[in-house]
């Protein structure tokens, strides 16, 4: 297996982010984030770069030990970045009675290095337990766990009739959604407004343009709904993406909130069987 240096991986990552020039490319990145919500947005992009068809990834030994599957001979590994820590003794100056004294202190340092994973399509062995978290045929399944997520964040939800053209809004810990919307639309609006509540506090709302705030909120909704196989009409806001935006910062915020919501909903929707718990390590 050819080893890849951290510097090379970071270079690949930055090149990909810099290459995003339109909303279609941006959507492709968001779809990848919906598949790998447990990974950082950087690693999700690295996975897509090396294997665009990847759906479930795990390390060589993890496939063997946890899932009784084996990587096929000749398969090329997918390189991602993993954090590692080490301890280091440093000398610091400390004020003491009568002057300054040098003292030694042990601190933790973090660094990143490449680790290697394989997609399920590159493995063979015991079949994985089937798992289906799509909600295409019963979109109301998302509403209850979304309400519980809001409760955990102390955000209130009100569903009432709103004036024509207004689907919902959020303000100061409260989300209001138009009752005329169908269940799919309600779920999408709730995620959108939740992203506003958690991403855009009073300080950031003043600093960010309306375009960036709407793009980030709708991108988060797109990732969450895509994860559950629900297509929502996001063209209006995602088309607001411009190359002049600081995509690194936006993706960091978008990925974090979408991952948190998906993690909560998955825990609620997945059966509590031991097989599903094991599969969730990879999902």
Instruction: Measure the CA angle with vertex 222, ends 216 and 225; round to 5°.
Output: 140
Confidence bin at 243 (pLDDT 50/70/90): low
Averaged pLDDT score across all residues of the chain: 79
Of 16-30, 31-45, 153-167, 188-202, the one with minimum mean pLDDT is 16-30
Number of CB atoms found within 10 A of residue 171's CB: 10
Which has more pLDDT, 129 or 254?
A: 254
**Residues 6 or more apart whose Cβ sits within 8 Å of residue 105:** 89, 90, 91, 92
Q: How far is CA 206 from CA 76, 213, 237, 241, in A?
A: 47, 10, 19, 19
User: What are the sequence ranges of the domains in the chain?
Assistant: 1-85+111-127, 132-283
Closest CA to 34 of 232, 190, 239: 232
pLDDT exceeds 70 at position 281: no
Confidence bin at 233 (pLDDT 50/70/90): low
pLDDT of 204 reads 62
Residue 53 C-alpha from the chain's centroid: 18
Kindly report the pTM of this predicted structure.
Answer: 0.67
Confidence bin at 161 (pLDDT 50/70/90): very high
Q: How much of the chain exceeds pLDDT 70, in percent?
A: 77
Instruction: Please check whether residue 27 is in contact with residue 21, taking contact to mean a CB–CB distance below 8 angstroms.
Output: no
Residue 219 C-alpha from the chain's centroid: 11
pLDDT exceeds 60 at position 193: yes
CA–CA gap between residue 162 and residue 176 (Å, rounded):
9
Instruction: Please check whether residue 186 is in contact with residue 177, taking contact to mean a CB–CB distance below 8 angstroms.
Output: yes
């Amino acid at each position: 297996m050819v080893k890849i240096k951290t510097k090379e991986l970071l270079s690949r990552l930055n090149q990909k982010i810099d290459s995003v020039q339109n909303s279609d490319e941006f959507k492709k990145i968001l779809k990848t984030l919906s598949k790998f919500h447990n990974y950082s947005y950087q690693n999700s992009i690295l996975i897509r770069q090396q294997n665009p068809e990847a759906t479930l990834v795990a390390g060589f030994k993890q496939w063997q030990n946890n899932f009784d599957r084996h990587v096929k001979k000749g398969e090329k590994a997918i390189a991602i970045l993993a954090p590692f820590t080490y301890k280091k003794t440093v000398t610091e100056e400390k004020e003491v009675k009568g002057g300054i004294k040098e003292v030694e202190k042990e601190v933790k340092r973090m660094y990143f290095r490449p680790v290697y994973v394989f997609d399920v399509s590159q493995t063979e062995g015991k079949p994985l337990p089937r798992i289906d978290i799509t909600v295409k045929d019963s979109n109301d399944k998302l509403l209850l766990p979304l309400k519980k997520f809001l409760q955990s964040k102390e955000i209130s939800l009100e569903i009432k009739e709103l004036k024509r053209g207004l689907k919902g809004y959020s303000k100061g810990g409260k989300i209001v959604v138009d009752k005329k919307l169908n269940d799919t639309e309600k779920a999408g609006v709730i995620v959108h407004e939740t992203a506003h509540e958690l991403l855009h506090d009073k300080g950031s709302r003043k600093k960010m343009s309306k375009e960036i705030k709407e793009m980030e909120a709708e991108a988060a909704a797109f990732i969450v709904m895509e994860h559950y196989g629900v297509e929502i009409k996001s063209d209006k806001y995602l088309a607001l993406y411009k190359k002049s935006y600081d995509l690194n910062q936006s993706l960091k915020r978008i990925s974090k909130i979408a991952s948190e919501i998906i993690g909560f909903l998955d825990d609620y929707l997945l059966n509590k069987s031991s097989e599903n718990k094991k599969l969730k390590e990879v999902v």
